[in-house]
Amino acid sequence: MPNYKPSLERLAQLITQLKDSACRRMTRQLLNIGTEPTQIMEVCQKSLIDIGRKYETGEYFIAGLIMAGDIMKQIIDMVMPFVKTPQNPSGRGRVLIGTVAGDIHDLGKNMAGAMLTTYGYEVKDLGVDVRPENFLEETVRFEPHIVGLSSLMTSGHSALTQTIHLIRQNIPQNSRPVVFISGAMIIESVKKRSGADFVVNNVAETVFLCEKIMVDKQPK
């Protein structure tokens, strides 16, 4: 096998080809030469979108999705210890996260949760297939500043809307958390329909937004 120089492009190819041990090797090499964990995560996310397309066109089957999920998990586990804890995080707060009812995808949510924990946030993760009532219950109990809902499938959009409406109806305006939504099929119109405050597309954006929200909440 040719000995490739470590590069993000090569990692993307290896992920898309579902070559798991080569992906681990390349990730290790990239980390060793100082590649930023967020750059590696971004490449993973894009490659998994490609794999999703191959699944849609019939080139890959469900086994391909399962392998892709497994590779992604291994890479996340390798890169997370390399994420630097910021010296002076500008905002710390409570964040409640979960994947909405009917959906079991959890890699993006887990990655976002791990990143926010590294940045000093108190993260409560409700897991996957979470019913709207459970989100409400935990919002009342945990009093999060931010609620992050993950939904990877179009069929989950109504669960998103129901969850957000339930929170809005039952939590008084002055203690209402900021709600953001995330996932492969989320587009601006879903945000409008669901009543979410923000859509986030990657972990860097998620951390940036949380920091901004916490700074805005501090008394001036």
Applying CB under 6 A, which residues contact ligand B12? 41, 45, 48-49, 51-53, 55-56, 62, 65-66, 68-69, 72, 97, 102-109, 111-112, 148, 150, 152-155, 182-185, 200-203, 206
Give CA–CA dist 21/19, Å, rounded.
6
Minimum CB distance to ligand B12, residue 177 (Å) = 12
97: its two tokens: 């996260």
Nearer to ligand B12, 149 or 172 (CB): 149
Nearer to ligand B12 by Cβ, of 4 and 120: the residue is 120
For the bound state, the minimum distance from the C-beta of residue 105 to ligand B12, rounded and expressed in Å, comes to 4
CB of 1 to ligand B12, least distance (A): 26
* Exposure letters 176-208 (e unless 16+ CB within 10 A, then b): ebbbbbbbbebeeebbeebebbbbbebbeebbe
Query: Which amino acid appears at position 131 of this protein?
Result: R
Q: 198: which strand partners? A: 180
Q: By C-beta, is 2 or 179 nearer to ligand B12? A: 179
Cα 103 from Cα 9, distance rounded (Å) = 30
Smallest distance, ligand B12 to C-beta of residue 3, A: 28
Nearer Cβ to ligand B12 (117/172): 117
* Rg of the chain (C-alpha set): 18
